Chains A and B, each alone.
Chain A
Amino acid sequence: MSNTHADTVLFVRDTMLPQQEPPASTVGALGWAKANLFSGWFNTTLTILSALFILYLLSGLVPWFASPTWYAASLTECREILAGHEGACWGVIRERWLQLMFGFYPSELYWRPVLALVLLFVAVAPVLFADYVPSKLLGFTALYPFIAVWLLWGGTIWAPVMALLGFVVAFFVFRYASKQISPALALIAGVIAALLWWMVITPAITPDLSRLLPIGIEAVQSRQFGGFMLSITIGVTAIMCSLPIGILLALGRQSDLVLVKAICVGFIEFIRGVPLITLLFVASTLLNIFMPPGTNFDIILRVMIMVTLFASAYMAEVIRGGLAALPKGQYEGADSLGLDYWQSQRLIIMPQALKISIPGIVSTFIGVFKDTTLVSIISMFDPLGLSNAIRADTAWNGVYWELFIFIGAVFFIFCFSMSRYSMYLERKLQTGHR
């Protein structure tokens, strides 16, 4: 065999050539550009045109953004600094960014909303990143709403403590009663006990407690809330409360009990049939009229309730979509295992339905957070309402883009983070059915 071609083939390589680097034009940035940007005359033309367009945009935007007006004290001063050139007037952001963040919250107490926000991240960490954070923190998560309310509104510590104790009372009554009577009745008994605690016992003993043990921090009026602090307070409350309420509504809508189903369907369809602004107007003006004069039902609380109800109705429909997407076999499988209704929901149905609904749920969250800007219409100073108030200052009358860009950027940070988190969650829960 070795000699067969000895006469016809002049040279046979008997060693392997070492591997060579691919040609420089096909790897790295150059290769990527060649493959993606300049592959053929049509794409090359498009690339060049797009690059020119981007350059054109940048040539307009960069000088506008990089305008040296950070220390200007009024729009007139900005115009003097710019001397006829186009440019942003960033002085308004320097002077008012704290106001855009905190509204009229007393400046020496800014640490309280900041601390509340930091603690919020601590509180949601065990829920959002269950893999990395010890579940012991869940106790703190349960306490967080009371801590946050106390930090934001201040006042005596006994109000949130008594509110918290109400839940404890309800829990123990429920536990004790469920041994004696049916769970549904025990639940009702628990709720009644909590209501009694809040309505009768709390008002009776809180004043005495706060006099005997005057632990408290300076109280802050709701009217002093504003800016992003207001948006986040309303948004976070609505987001946190709307998910559980939405789940219950979605389940209620599928219930076989006629009354439960009718209430849930009626609620969902009513709320979804009414614009949010209408609900906000009801909260801000009509409720005032219905209630006896002198009652002080906190305006932020009213708005929070309305936004939460609104978000819950949408959430219920999103989750119903998830429930409807589950094959019937899952329900039947749960039944065949002998699980009761709540067990099968908790262990089999909801984990799957919620996973399917994640994009819809997060969309609703983002939508609710952005909808909080609507409260400017009922004269609360959310960031957009504040931008109007800032423009009413003669120093800044005529400043638009700078304020809107700043507000938009902050909203983008929050909404984009939520969106990225939902993608992370989807990847994490991906179990490969496709």
Chain B
Amino acid sequence: MKKTAIFGALTVAGLMAGAAGAATLDDVKARGKLNCGVSTGLAGFSNPDANGNWEGFDVAVCRAVAGAVLGDANAVEFVPTTGKTRFTALASGEIDMLARNTTWTLSRDADLKFTFVGVNYYDGQGFMAPKELGVSSAKELDGATVCIQTGTTTELNLADYFRKNNMSYEPVPIETNAEAQQQYLAGACDVYTTDASGLASTRATFEDPSAHVILPEIISKEPLGPLVRHGDDEWGDIVRWSLNALIAAEEFGITSANVADMAAAAGDSPEINRMLGTEGNLGEMLGLDANWAVNAISAGGNYGEVFEKNIGESTPIGLARGLNAQWTEGGLLYSPPFR
């Protein structure tokens, strides 16, 4: 009941804002800055460094869009949002787009009136347990105490999974990831469950990461992606194709190092030429400059570069590509053609 009321209010808000501020692209260009909603701090995805510069995987998406639209990857005003303020910030027009590890669900798409423009990280809920517990599969967790963040989809997924497998568990409700780490290390719960990327980054901070295992089962689908408001499809297209440009660039072997050379003159591949603006008028169709994709890619490199720099195996977070590999390498990343 309460939830319906909140969603209802948000819907009205979304409609009003959507109707009133239709031409986001013009607003952004007039402002000279992209207002991009990010998380207030999530390891690897968005965090400010000691000088106040934002970095991370979600931040890179914002920078790519800023590059494509304004030609300057630093023309971004990062608006930190919490799980509670993110949707109103987007609906009210305070931000132009949201890149805050937000799961794409039907109700958020249809009921909250947002458009998810794609997926930049395929996540899923997993379990972490101390090695000494001796479990090797989530199926062996019958009767376990589980640390779980309240009020998230992970809580519902957990209940579903245990019911489906006819097992029982005892939840230890906690508020934040920081609290969860402390509780888990103090032994308040046998297992900790959250998104697999979060588990990996949490485990990386432990004094002895090898004493903890992440169980192989992934119990939910969590496609995380950037989103925009309903009502401005032109703007949605720009964000969607900026993200696709990063993904396609990796597929075509365009990196931040060679993008300038490849864009200098038309090459052998027609699709690369179209994307980089040396052939055709794709940029014009989006309402952008011809070299929009060049700017998006040189902002932080292609998808693979961004991944490696922020959350890849060389970073402390150490995530493998897994589902987030290109479709040609057995992953799910598949950019529609640039034609």
**Cβ contact within 8 Å between B43 and A392:** yes
Q: Are A398 and B205 in contact (CB under 8 A)?
A: yes
Write out the residue numbers on chain B whose beta carbons fall within 8 Å of the beta carbon of A289: 13, 16-17, 88, 91-92
CB of B283 within 8 Å of the partner chain: no
Chain B: minimal CB distance from A239 (Å): 26
Chain B residue at minimal CB-CB distance from A378: B85
Contacts of B181 in A (CB 8 A): 398
A-side interface residues, number (CB < 8 Å):
38
Measured between beta carbons, the chain A residues less than 8 angstroms from B43 are 391-394, 397
Write out, one digit per residue, whether chain A residues 189-226 have a CB within 8 A of any chain B CB (1) or not (0).
00000000000000000000000000000000101100
In Å, the complex CA distance between A400 and B316 comes to: 18
Question: Smallest CB-CB separation from A286: which chain B residue?
Answer: B88
Q: Do B204 and A394 touch across chains, with their CB atoms under 8 A apart? A: yes
| Chain A residues whose C-beta falls within 8 Å of the C-beta of B250 in the assembled complex | none
Known: A293-B20, A389-B41. A377 touches B92 (CB 8 A): no
**C-beta contact mask, B36-58 vs A, less than 8 Å → 1, else 0?**
00011111111111111000100
Taking a contact as CB atoms under 8 Å apart, the answer to whether B88 and A288 are in contact is yes
Contacts A377-B82, A381-B80 hold; do A96 and B50 have CB atoms under 8 A apart? yes
Contacts of B82 in A (CB 8 A): 377-379
The tally of residues in B whose CB lies under 8 Å from a CB in A reads 47
B315 A394 Cβ-Cβ under 8 A: yes
Residue of A79, A99, A286, A381 touching B50 (CB-CB under 8 A): A99
Q: Tell me the smallest distance from the CB of A397 to a CB of chain B, in Å.
A: 4
A104–B317 CB distance below 8 A? no
Cα of A281 to Cα of B6 in the assembled complex, Å: 13
- A75 proximal to B (CB < 8 A): yes
- Assess the A393–B49 pair: CB atoms within 8 A: yes
B210 to chain A, nearest CB (A): 14
Judged by a CB distance under 8 angstroms, whether B77 is at the interface is yes
Chain A residues within an 8 Å CB radius of B92: 285, 288-289, 293
Let me know if A377 and B84 touch, CB within 8 A. Answer: yes
Write the nearest CB–CB distance from A398 to chain B, whole angstroms: 3
B17 adjacent to A293 (CB under 8 Å): yes
Name the B residues within 8 Å of A294 (CB-CB): 21, 27, 93
Q: Which residues in B have their C-beta under 8 angstroms from that of A381?
A: 40, 80
Query: Could you say which residues of chain B place their CB within 8 Å of the CB of A378?
Result: 82, 84-85
Measured in the bound complex, the distance between the Cα atoms of B86 and A418 in whole Å is 36
Q: Which residues of A contact B85 (CB under 8 A)?
A: 281, 284-285, 378-379
Query: Is the beta-carbon distance between B16 and A393 smaller than 8 angstroms?
Result: no
Contact of A397 with B201 at beta-carbon distance under 8 Å, contacts A95-B50, A99-B52, A381-B40 already known? yes
What is the bound-complex CA distance between A281 and B81, given in angstroms? 12
Question: Given A95-B50, A285-B89, A388–B84 Cβ distance below 8 Å?
Answer: no
A377-B82, A388-B178, A393-B49 known; A79 vs B204 contact (CB < 8 Å): no
Q: Contact check, A385 vs B40: say whether CB atoms are below 8 A apart.
A: yes
Instruction: List residues 91-138 of chain B with CB under 8 A from any CB of chain A.
Output: 91-94
By the criterion CB–CB under 8 Å, are A388 and B41 in contact? yes
Are the C-beta atoms of A379 and B201 separated by less than 8 Å? no
**Closest partner residue, chain A, to B181 (CB atom):** A398
B204 contacts A397, C-beta separation under 8 Å: yes
B contact residues vs A (CB 8 Å cutoff): 13, 16-17, 20-21, 27, 39-52, 56, 77, 79-82, 84-85, 88-89, 91-94, 176, 178, 181-182, 201-202, 204-207, 315-317
* Chain A residues with a Cβ under 8 A of chain B: 75-76, 79, 95-96, 99, 103-104, 107, 221, 223-224, 281, 284-286, 288-289, 292-294, 376-379, 381, 385, 388-395, 397-398, 400
* 13 new A-B contacts at CB < 8 Å, known A293-B20, A377-B82: A103-B52, A288-B92, A292-B20, A293-B17, A376-B40, A378-B82, A379-B85, A388-B40, A388-B41, A392-B40, A392-B43, A394-B44, A400-B178
